[in-house]
């Protein structure tokens, strides 16, 4: 026995130094004419971290998954791009600055240094020559350049509208950043404010964002969330005319077949015409009071579906285009200005909300769709009628009697011929509000000139540097507004006085294109060279948390589609495949949080057990897409496994000569079993890694191989050397240091330079197997049988086995099902 022991603190830095000094994981861009002859590319990417404090356990899992994928692809013959960077702008650094006085730049740089130390200690196989950070002028210069290209195309615009305002963070937020009426960052309740802000026209891409989900390999849940968020519904836009004022009001409806059932008309309190309509009527004062109350109410309260319906008459009517009926107009807060046209037709018989409103205001309820076969007289006059499959129109003038689906089309066609409507599609998706009234972000490259108005900063003047300030406190406007010297400048068009835009960009803008920059990270003439990008795009495997299902993952898709339209790249989707890893919960099964005191930091874990054990553990803990609770004792189990593997390598290295560890010739007995187990493990681990992300079962298979090595200690050393080197080779993607160490101890070679091992099919089958003998589907016996035996022989073996005989006894054998090399099922009655 050796008195040496497995010491990750000695092994791990040694291998990290090799990789660092030899720049093992760097991969250069190829000249275009060499790409075709090069090995196939694979772009493996984990979502970039937001550097705040030190990395947490979720980062460890994210990068352990990505690194395993990257290693596996390298060793299966791919040219792998695996870069990393930092999403460095953002609120936490700025809020920290307000609290502690430490400038955001300093805190961010310190945190980046801590992340860099951790990532190196974890032994990640990153191409550090491509490292980027979004707060560096060399990066955000191009964020501004992209903004200007979007601005030129009308995809970035400034508009006043009702926007979400977080009174705590003193800034506006995108729709996507409001969760249950609260600020995603700080949890404070969000208010609606009428403000002029910058938007990206993501809605122009709604259809493509929806349809192209079919072309990418993403988890169904993420695709479903995006579909939901985009919320496409098709129907019709129908025009209702207010004769008294001579104004047409279009409404959107998904149910044009119910047009004859409209008995009233409702507008949102924010609708710009509401006061104009009520002016001069007896309801004017009531309407004003109602609108004021509705506008001041908190969004969360107003949005509650269970809330009783309220509203006020406007004292006007509109004309229903299908039958000329005058419909009374109302203002009511259940109608949303942001969706459709801010006005709806009220069809109480076929819409629950309209039904509740009609009931509250004693308005008529007229059914116009009924199940086929029902007589008009059967249909209740006042009940809300749920939608069913087979329906036809009633009470619908010349459309009466038509099937509801055909009737819908007929009504739309008729409206269209009369100029009173058309087929239309509506979306839930809103444009992306990108401006923030905060300091620590990318400045928006726009100037306001007294004579020229809004002027984009010329490309040659980029970057617009973020100025240093002393006071980061937000006061409803960006702290940049106080940077006088920076603020006042000259108009590039007329040379007159101009003022800079003081809002900064949402950090999601920075992270919507970073994955493109890695491909050409040191280019200072353009954000990237389209030819260089073409050799890497799209990302073959993207890995990150599910919390980005709609924010980052939708914005990045939008950017890439816009870039494709500008001819800047040639793919339609950034992430061909996506893997969303589950969270690591605290030992108590709850989400880790400082307030719960259940946070496990990776740093002491790595110091105590080594990076290999920590990485293996987070992969072994369960299926990587699921949440799992941290368990120290399970971590010790994984550490034990690596220790056992290392000890095998150490012992063999002491007793045998270093050299190639190949499958021995004609092994027998224990040696044969060991060699078979090794090939079985190769086969299993390969299948688990090849697109399956089944790291937990892959590691389990290597554990089985190691266990087999301990059980068959007396096998000859050639077989043991082969099996141990194979275990080291297979464990390398998960535990690169000990994998490299054991492989080198035995063979003298570098495991990452070796091709991924191939299982010999001949070694995957034994000459005999255990035949499972069932009677009526229940196992009654197991007998040895020769592999590849004909069905008749297996049937005979099974029927003559004692267990089957005992259970068939006295019953008639009706049928025998034979599954070759596996089982026989005797059906007896």
Is residue 79 near RNA by the rule CB under 7 A? no
DSSP H or E run through 620 = helix 611-620
Minimum CB separation of residue 303 from RNA in Å reads 4
Cis peptide before 568 (omega within 30 of 0): no
Contacts (CB under 7 A) with RNA, residues 456-495? none
Minimum CB separation of residue 364 from RNA in Å reads 17
Contacts (CB under 7 A) with RNA, residues 353-372? 353, 356
Angstrom distance (rounded) from CA 319 to CA 408: 20
Q: What angle do CA 361, 367, 371 make, to 5 degrees?
A: 145
Angstrom distance (rounded) from CA 167 to CA 475: 10
Among 146, 156, 614, 638, binds RNA (CB under 7 A): 638
Count of CA atoms in the C-beta half-sphere (13 A) of 655: 13
Minimum CB separation of residue 656 from RNA in Å reads 20
| Cβ neighbour number for residue 41 with a 10 Å cutoff | 17
Angstrom distance (rounded) from CA 116 to CA 108: 12
Is residue 221 near RNA by the rule CB under 7 A? yes
The pair of structure tokens assigned to 648 is 């095998």
Minimum CB separation of residue 299 from RNA in Å reads 8
Contacts (CB under 7 A) with RNA, residues 546-565? 546, 549-550
Minimum CB separation of residue 50 from RNA in Å reads 19
Is residue 822 near RNA by the rule CB under 7 A? yes
Contacts (CB under 7 A) with RNA, residues 46-75? none
Binding mask 164-193 for RNA (x = CB under 7 A): ---------------xx-------------
Binding mask 642-671 for RNA (x = CB under 7 A): -xx---------------------------
Is residue 774 near RNA by the rule CB under 7 A? yes
Contacts (CB under 7 A) with RNA, residues 8-37? none
Is residue 588 near RNA by the rule CB under 7 A? no
Segment lying near RNA (by CB under 7 A), choices 47-55, 347-355, 460-468, 596-604: 347-355
CA nearest 501: which of 466, 544, 460, 553? 466
> 117 vs 822, which CB is nearer to RNA?
822
Segment lying near RNA (by CB under 7 A), choices 63-71, 88-96, 246-254, 527-535: 246-254
Bridging pattern class, strands 453-456 and 343-346: unpaired
Minimum CB separation of residue 640 from RNA in Å reads 4
Is residue 235 near RNA by the rule CB under 7 A? yes
Segment lying near RNA (by CB under 7 A), choices 431-439, 456-464, 745-753, 817-825: 817-825
Angstrom distance (rounded) from CA 553 to CA 550: 6
| Sequence-separated (6 or more) residues with CB below 8 Å from residue 194 | 160, 161, 162, 163
Binding mask 286-315 for RNA (x = CB under 7 A): ----------------xxxx-x-x------
Is residue 227 near RNA by the rule CB under 7 A? yes
One-character DSSP codes across 133-149: ETTSHHHHHHHHHHHHH
Q: How far is CA 338 from CA 208, 620, 732, in A?
A: 21, 47, 53
Minimum CB separation of residue 467 from RNA in Å reads 35
> 35 vs 546, which CB is nearer to RNA?
546
Minimum CB separation of residue 796 from RNA in Å reads 17
> 255 vs 517, which CB is nearer to RNA?
255
Angstrom distance (rounded) from CA 343 to CA 352: 16
Is residue 621 near RNA by the rule CB under 7 A? yes
Pair 347, 262: CB distance under 8 Å: yes
CA 442 to chain centre: 24
Contacts (CB under 7 A) with RNA, residues 709-748? 710-711
Minimum CB separation of residue 726 from RNA in Å reads 16
Is residue 423 near RNA by the rule CB under 7 A? no
CA nearest 74: which of 820, 770, 727, 754? 754
Minimum CB separation of residue 635 from RNA in Å reads 9
Segment lying near RNA (by CB under 7 A), choices 87-95, 274-282, 510-518, 703-711: 703-711
The pair of structure tokens assigned to 527 is 């954000």
Is residue 383 near RNA by the rule CB under 7 A? no
Is residue 339 near RNA by the rule CB under 7 A? yes
Segment lying near RNA (by CB under 7 A), choices 91-99, 231-239, 470-478, 721-729: 231-239
> 661 vs 824, which CB is nearer to RNA?
824
Contacts 24+ apart (CB under 8 A), 347-350: 347/253, 347/255, 347/258, 347/259, 347/261, 347/262, 347/263, 348/261, 348/263, 348/264, 348/384, 349/258, 349/261, 349/383, 349/384, 349/385, 350/255, 350/258, 350/261, 350/384, 350/385, 350/387
Angstrom distance (rounded) from CA 618 to CA 497: 58
Among 9, 296, 626, 654, binds RNA (CB under 7 A): 626
Angstrom distance (rounded) from CA 122 to CA 611: 5
| Sequence-separated (6 or more) residues with CB below 8 Å from residue 246 | none
Among 31, 53, 231, 496, binds RNA (CB under 7 A): 231
Among 777, 810, 812, 829, binds RNA (CB under 7 A): 777
Pick left, alpha or beta for residue 257 (phi over 0 → left; psi -120 to 50 → alpha; otherwise beta). alpha
Is residue 703 near RNA by the rule CB under 7 A? yes
Count of CA atoms in the C-beta half-sphere (13 A) of 329: 30
Is residue 161 near RNA by the rule CB under 7 A? no
DSSP structural state of residue 518: G
> 5 vs 276, which CB is nearer to RNA?
5
Segment lying near RNA (by CB under 7 A), choices 38-46, 196-204, 463-471, 770-778: 770-778
Is residue 764 near RNA by the rule CB under 7 A? no
| Sequence-separated (6 or more) residues with CB below 8 Å from residue 768 | 784, 785, 786, 787
# binding residues, RNA (CB under 7 A)? 88
Minimum CB separation of residue 346 from RNA in Å reads 8
Place of tokens 């709609």: 550
Minimum CB separation of residue 100 from RNA in Å reads 31
Binding mask 248-267 for RNA (x = CB under 7 A): ---xxxxx------------
One-character DSSP codes across 69-98: HHHHHHHTT-EEE---EE---SHHHHHHHH
Minimum CB separation of residue 797 from RNA in Å reads 15
Among 351, 540, 612, 741, binds RNA (CB under 7 A): 351
Residue count of the chain, please give it: 829
Minimum CB separation of residue 776 from RNA in Å reads 5
Is residue 384 near RNA by the rule CB under 7 A? no
Among 113, 405, 779, 813, binds RNA (CB under 7 A): 779
Q: How far is CA 465 from CA 132, 283, 344, 496, 501, in A?
A: 17, 55, 48, 21, 12
> 297 vs 565, which CB is nearer to RNA?
297
| Cβ neighbour number for residue 369 with a 10 Å cutoff | 25
DSSP structural state of residue 231: -
Minimum CB separation of residue 515 from RNA in Å reads 23
Is residue 694 near RNA by the rule CB under 7 A? yes
> 117 vs 590, which CB is nearer to RNA?
590
Minimum CB separation of residue 815 from RNA in Å reads 6
Is residue 334 near RNA by the rule CB under 7 A? yes
Is residue 127 near RNA by the rule CB under 7 A? no
| Cβ neighbour number for residue 480 with a 10 Å cutoff | 22
């Amino acid at each position: 026995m050796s008195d040496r022991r497995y010491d990750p603190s000695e092994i791990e830095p040694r291998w990290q130094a090799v990789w660092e000094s030899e720049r093992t994981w760097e991969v250069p861009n190829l000249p275009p004419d060499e790409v075709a002859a090069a090995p196939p590319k694979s772009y493996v990417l984990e979502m970039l971290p937001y550097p705040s404090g030190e990395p947490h356990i979720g980062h460890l899992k994210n990068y352990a998954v990505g690194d395993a994928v990257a290693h596996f692809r390298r060793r299966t013959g791919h040219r792998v791009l695996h870069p990393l960077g930092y999403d460095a702008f953002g609120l936490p650094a700025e809020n920290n600055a307000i609290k502690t006085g430490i400038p955001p730049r300093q805190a961010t740089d310190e945190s980046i240094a801590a992340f860099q130390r951790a990532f190196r200690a974890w032994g990640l196989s990153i191409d550090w020559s491509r490292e980027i950070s979004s707060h560096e002028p060399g990066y955000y210069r191009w964020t501004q350049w992209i903004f200007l290209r979007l601005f030129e195309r009308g995809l970035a615009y400034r508009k006043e509208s009702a926007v979400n305002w977080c009174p705590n963070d003193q800034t506006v937020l995108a729709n996507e950043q409001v969760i249950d009426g609260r600020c995603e960052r700080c949890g404070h309740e969000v208010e609606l404010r009428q403000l002029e802000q910058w938007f990206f026209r993501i809605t122009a891409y709604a259809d493509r964002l929806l349809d192209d989900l079919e072309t990418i390999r993403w988890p169904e849940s993420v695709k479903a969330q995006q579909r939901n968020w985009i919320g496409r519904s098709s129907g019709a836009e129908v025009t209702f005319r207010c004769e008294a004022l001579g104004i047409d009001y279009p409404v959107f409806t998904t149910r044009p077949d119910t047009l004859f059932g409209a008995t009233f008309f409702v507008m949102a309190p924010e609708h710009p015409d509401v006061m104009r309509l009520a002016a001069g009527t007896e309801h004017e004062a009531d309407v004003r009071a109602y609108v004021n109350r509705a506008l001041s109410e908190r969004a969360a309260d107003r949005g509650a579906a269970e809330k009783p319906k309220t509203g006020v008459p406007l004292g006007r009517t509109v004309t229903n285009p299908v039958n000329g009926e005058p419909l009374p107009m109302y203002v009511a807060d259940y109608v949303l200005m942001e969706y459709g046209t801010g006005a709806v037709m009220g069809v109480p018989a076929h819409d629950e909300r309209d039904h509740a409103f009609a009931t509250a205001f004693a308005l008529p309820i007229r059914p116009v769709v009924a199940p086929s076969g029902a007589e008009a007289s059967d249909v209740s006059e006042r009940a809300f009628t749920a939608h069913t499959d087979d329906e036809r129109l009633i009470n619908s003038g010349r459309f009466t009697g038509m099937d509801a689906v055909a009737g819908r089309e007929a009504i739309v066609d008729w409206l269209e011929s009369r100029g009173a409507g058309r087929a239309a599609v509506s979306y839930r998706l809103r444009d992306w509000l990108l401006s923030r009234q905060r300091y620590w972000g990318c400045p928006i490259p726009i100037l306001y000139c007294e004579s020229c108005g809004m002027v984009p900063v010329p490309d040659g003047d980029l970057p617009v540097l973020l100025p240093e300030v002393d006071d980061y406190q937000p006061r409803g406007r960006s702290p940049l507004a106080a940077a006088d010297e920076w603020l006042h400048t000259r108009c590039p068009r007329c040379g007159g006085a101009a003022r800079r835009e003081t809002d900064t960009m949402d950090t999601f803008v920075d992270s919507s294109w970073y994955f493109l920059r890695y491909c050409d990270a040191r280019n200072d003439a353009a954000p990237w060279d389209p030819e260089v990008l073409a050799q890497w795009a799209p990302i073959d495997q993207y890995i990150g948390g599910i919390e980005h299902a709609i924010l980052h993952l939708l914005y990045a898709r939008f950017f890439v589609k816009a870039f494709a339209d500008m001819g800047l790249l040639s793919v339609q989707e950034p992430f061909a495949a996506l893997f969303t890893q589950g969270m690591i919960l605290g030992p108590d099964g709850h989400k880790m949080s400082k307030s719960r005191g259940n946070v496990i930091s990776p740093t002491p874990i790595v110091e105590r057990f080594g990076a290999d054990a920590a990485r293996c553990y987070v992969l072994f803990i369960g299926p990587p897409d699921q949440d799992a609770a941290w368990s120290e004792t399970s971590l010790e189990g994984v550490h034990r496994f690596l220790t056992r593997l290392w000890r095998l390598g150490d012992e063999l290295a002491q007793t045998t000569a270093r050299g190639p560890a190949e499958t021995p010739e004609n092994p027998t007995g224990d040696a044969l079993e060991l060699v078979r187990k090794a090939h079985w493990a190769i086969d299993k681990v390969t299948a688990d890694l090849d697109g399956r992300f089944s790291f937990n079962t892959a590691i389990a298979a290597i554990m089985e191989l190691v266990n087999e090595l301990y059980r068959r200690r007396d096998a000859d050393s050639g077989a043991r050397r082969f099996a141990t080197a194979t275990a080291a080779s297979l464990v390398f993607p998960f535990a690169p240091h000990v994998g490299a160490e054991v492989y080198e101890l035995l063979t003298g070679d570098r495991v990452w330079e070796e091709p991924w091992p191939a299982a010999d099919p001949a070694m995957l089958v034994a000459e005999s197997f255990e035949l499972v003998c069932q009677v009526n589907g229940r196992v009654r016996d197991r007998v040895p049988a020769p592999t590849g035996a004909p069905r008749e022989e297996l049937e005979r073996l099974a029927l003559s086995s004692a267990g089957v005989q005992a259970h068939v006894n006295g019953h008639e054998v009706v049928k025998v099902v034979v599954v070759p090399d596996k089982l026989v099922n005797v059906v007896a009655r």
